[in-house]
Amino acid sequence: MEKYALFIGCNIPVKVEQYEHSARAVLNKLDVEVKDIDTFNCCGYPLKNVDQAGWLLSSARNIALAEARGLNLLTLCQCCFGSLKTAAAKLKEDNKAKERINEILSKENLEYQGVCKIEHLLSVLHNEVTLKTIEEKTIDKYKDLNIATHYGCHALRPSNIMEFDDPVKPSLFDNLVNVTGAESIEWALKLDCCGAPVLGINDNLSLDLTEKKLTNAKKAGADFICVSCPWCYMQFDKIQDRIAVDRGNKYNLPPILYSQLLGLRLGIAEKNLGIETDQKNDKVSKAYPKLFETEEKEAKKPKKKKATKSKK
């Protein structure tokens, strides 16, 4: 298994702490070793609008920090993931920019080489840990849980750079959800934007986009909307509450982080995953009990044996 530096970004430690806790717990359970680099900076994503040089340097510095330690990068955020990866792609073709950046980085004895692998939590789980191992490590499975899987734009697109999954009909995240026994349902706006990028720039637009996704997922019968990005999480969590207050539209469709969804089935206590089961509100009251309705894994066992045998 590759060695990774965990890139937490700016939002998670302040606004979505449970993501860090649950991701670490899950990675630990699945024997993925992650190191911490406390000198990481912002990935630069927000700067992209007004100063691409600032974005490139910010991303490159993080990559250089990982490279200096011989580590690869594992991000938890779609936007950090997209920002770092598109920056790496840009620097691959723009030698001038790379030289300029290395000149700045050399002041702190860093060098951007572009050899570091940049991965997202989901791609590591799917491609390196593999679904098979995950299934083996789960202790039981969800009995009746419908999940609206939300991919997050910047992981999927631009697909020629991100190489995360098929941009039109992706399956990676759905597979990861299904392996927990939950059902990743079909819904039309699965691949659309959560609305976060324009909150603060055009609030009405942002809230509209979030509402559309919530309406669509709810209509498709989702119990939870499953995300793996702090921006999306914040949008479906606190901004959903705000929509309920400001616009009077209540969807009661709580978000759940994939690391939480999987963590429970790996036998990690909900306390360690940051799932606040003692919350009492309309948004979660119907959905949360479903997280604890489980069944034995038995049903799938014979199938698995067959598969291993045939391989031999």
Partner 1 sequence: MAFDILLNSSLTILGVGLIIKMIQWLSYKTGIRAENESMLQRLAAALKGVLSTVFSLRFFNLPQTFVLDILFLRRTFKQDLLRWIMHMLIFWGFILLFFMHALESIVSDNLFSYYYSTINPFMFLRDLFGAMVLVGLLIAVFRRFFMKIQRMTSNAQDIYAILIVGIIIVSGFGLEGTKIISYNEFLNMEDEFAALDYEEDIFALESYWVKNYGLASPNNISNVSEEVLALGEEIHNDTCIDCHTKPTAAFGGYAVSRAFKPFAGILEFIGAVNIFYWIHILACFIGLAILPFTKMFHIVTTPLSLFTSAVMKRENASPLNIATRQAIELDACVHCTTCSSNCSVAPAFDILGNENIMPSERMMALRRFSTKQKISSQDFLAIQEGICLCSSCERCTVVCPAGINLKELWYDVREHFIRNGSIVTPLVLTPYSYNRAYSRDEFESPLQDSPAREAKSFIGRKYNKGKFVERDKPLPLIPDKDQPDKKDMGLTQDTFAYCFSCENCTNICPVVMNYEKPEEALDMLPHQIMRSLGLGLTDLVLGANMLWDCVTCYQCQENCPQNVKVTDIFFELKNQISKECFKNHENES
* Binding region for partner 1 (CB under 8 A): 10-11, 13-15, 41-42, 44-54, 57-58, 61, 79, 94, 104, 108, 153-154, 156-159, 167, 192-193, 195-203, 205-206, 208-209, 212, 231, 234, 238-239, 242
Give the residue with the Cβ less far from partner 1, 76 or 239.
Answer: 239
Minimum CB–partner distance for residue 106 and partner 1 (Å):
11
CA within 13 Å, CB half, 259: 30
The distance of closest approach from Cβ of residue 70 to partner 1 in the complex, given in angstroms and rounded to an integer, is 22
Cα separations in angstroms, 206 against 20, 121, 199, 225, 254: 25, 26, 5, 17, 18
| 11 vs 178 by CB, closer to partner 1 | 11
Nearer to partner 1, 2 or 51 (CB): 51
Per the rule left: phi > 0, alpha: psi between -120 and 50, beta: everything else, 23 is alpha
Closer by beta carbon to partner 1, 139 or else 188: 188
State the nearest-atom distance from the C-beta of 97 to partner 1, in Å: 10
- The least CB distance from residue 58 to partner 1, in Å, is 5
Q: Which helix (H) or strand (E) holds 154?
A: helix 153-156
Reduce the DSSP state of residue 283 to 3 states and report it.
helix
* Backbone torsion region of residue 75, taken as left when φ is above 0, otherwise alpha when ψ lies between -120 and 50, otherwise beta: beta
**DSSP three-state, residue 296:** coil
Q: How far is the CB of 271 from partner 1 (least distance, A)?
A: 23
The full length of the chain comes to 312
3-state class of 220 per DSSP? coil
For partner 1, the closer CB: 52 or 252: 52
Smaller CB separation from partner 1, 104 or 244 = 104
Q: Residue for token digits 């995360």?
A: 164
Q: Read off the DSSP letter of residue 78.
A: H
Query: Which secondary-structure segment (H or E) carries 153?
Result: helix 153-156
Minimum distance of partner 1 from residue 32's CB (angstroms): 24
Q: How far is CA 299 from CA 4, 141, 227, 302, in A?
A: 35, 10, 28, 7
Strand, helix or coil for residue 226? strand
| Smallest separation (angstroms) from partner 1 to the CB of 12 | 9
84 or 125, CB closer to partner 1? 84
